Amino acid sequence: MKTKSYSPTPHNLRRLAAALQRGELVAIPTETVYGLAAHALDARACGKIFKAKGRPTNDPLIVHVLDLAHAEMLADFNEPARKLARRFWPGPLTIVLPRKSCVPDIVTAGRDTVAIRSPSHPLTRRLLRVARIPLAAPSANLFGYISPTSAAHVLDGLDGEISAVLDGGSCTIGVESTIVDLTDPKRPRILRPGAITAQELQRILRTKVSERSIRAKGAEKNTGLIAPGMLSQHYSPRTPLIIKAGWSTAQLPEVAQIFLRKPAGRFARNVFWLSQRGALTEVARNLYRVLREADHAGYRQIWIEALPDGSGGLATAINDRVRRAAAKRQRGVP
């Protein structure tokens, strides 16, 4: 089977909606990264996601819905969760809440909670309207590898493993959604940082929002995780990735060097950058694309510059992804 890429015509959207209703897998664009979608209430269809990605079943899936009304059919919402949904949906915010019985165990890793969000990408919203089903959708890539932000990235890893990808161009945000746990409405906590920050959540909730450690205690045991994106090693290139600070373009042709902003002067072909001037929105949008380019170029190592600790905001999400991507290789590096 060869995976077919579809342009977003009305006919193709109807065709892909029908495929999802039948239990097939379709890669879809969102504002964050491309997702590998299946009918969220069809356990067999969701099982295909884990097989295609090589994803462990203790890592739950995020369910994508059109709006708050659809979300309330799948989860028990409290008033703080409704406030966040009304303010940030559609958008890059995932809310963890007690699930309703219609949500299969395989979606939630056997837990009594479900992670749910309403994406803002116009094509995925059109597809949700046509399909009239919720879509479970983790990132559309092999498990643990760099997340895809274009249809070409999806095909790079999953061509032949899934039936179709809806080509919606490049993702505008480029890092996965913020995940907030509101199972206890009095103690909201961020499980995964993203484009929506703790400060923004606190302004709506009018209470402290805690930020859980990126290496959550017990997160890698063979028990169901409360949310995706909690493993200490994730989003990783195959080439060893090393976080560096305070270096200028070095004469090391065997090392890919990724800077936050474009270096001044002349530099070699092994130098990459994430933004012309270091704008955080550009850094986030380009992070996975540039990591993939460096990974495919055949270098011995990849060096990447991290944002300063304590920068806050979107920088927290960027540093989170970089640290997880480097975690496998970081130990023992001089």
pLDDT digits (tens, 9 = 90+) for 109-160: 999 999 999 999 999 999 999 999 999 999 999 999 999 999 999 999 999 9
Q: What is the CATH number of domain 4-211?
A: 3.90.870.10
At 237, give phi and psi (nearest 5°): -70, 165
User: Per the structure block, which two tokens stand in for 188?
Assistant: 């909201």
Nearest partner of 88 among 235, 197, 171, judged by Cα: 197
User: Per the structure block, which two tokens stand in for 135?
Assistant: 């879509």
Strand bridging mode 164-166 / 4-6: parallel
Distance CA 36, CA 157 (A): 12
| Percentage with pLDDT > 90 across the chain | 82
At 129, give phi and psi (nearest 5°): -65, -40
At 18, give phi and psi (nearest 5°): -65, -40
User: Per the structure block, which two tokens stand in for 282?
Assistant: 């550009």
Residue 328 pLDDT: 65
User: Per the structure block, which two tokens stand in for 218?
Assistant: 């017990």
pLDDT digits (tens, 9 = 90+) for 38-51: 999 999 999 999 99
Residue 265 pLDDT: 78
User: Per the structure block, which two tokens stand in for 144?
Assistant: 């643990």
User: Per the structure block, which two tokens stand in for 233?
Assistant: 């090693």
Q: Is the pLDDT of residue 215 over 60?
A: no
Q: What dihedral do alpha carbons 220, 284, 298, 35 form, nearest 10°?
A: 60
241-330 CATH fold: Rossmann fold (3.40.50)
Residue 334 pLDDT: 30
pLDDT digits (tens, 9 = 90+) for 246-277: 777 777 889 999 999 998 877 888 999 999 98
Q: Please give, one letter per residue, the 3-state secondary structure of the chain.
A: CCCEEECCCHHHHHHHHHHHHCCCCEEECCCCCCEEEEECCCHHHHHHHHHHHCCCCCCCCEEECCCHHHHCCCECCCHHHHHHHHHHCCCCEEEEEEECCCCCHHHHCCCCEEEEECCCCHHHHHHHHHHCCCEECCECCCCCECCCCCHHHHHHHHECCECEEECCCCCCCCCCCEEEECCCCCCCEEEECCCCCHHHHHHHHCCCCEECCCCCCCCCCCCCCCCCCCCCCCCECCCCEEEECCCCCCCCCCEEEEECCCCCCCCCCCEEECCCCCCHHHHHHHHHHHHHHHHHCCCCEEEEECCCCCCCCHHHHHHHHHHHHHHHHHCCCC
Q: Is the pLDDT of residue 331 over 50?
A: no
Query: What is the average per-residue pLDDT within 173-189?
Result: 97
User: Per the structure block, which two tokens stand in for 289?
Assistant: 């694309």
Nearest partner of 277 among 267, 269, 286, judged by Cα: 286
186: left (phi over 0), alpha (psi -120 to 50) or beta: alpha
Map out the domains of the chain as residue ranges.
Answer: 4-211, 241-330
Its pTM stands at 0.93
Per-chain mean pLDDT for the chain? 92
Residue 221 pLDDT: 52
User: Per the structure block, which two tokens stand in for 196?
Assistant: 């929506």
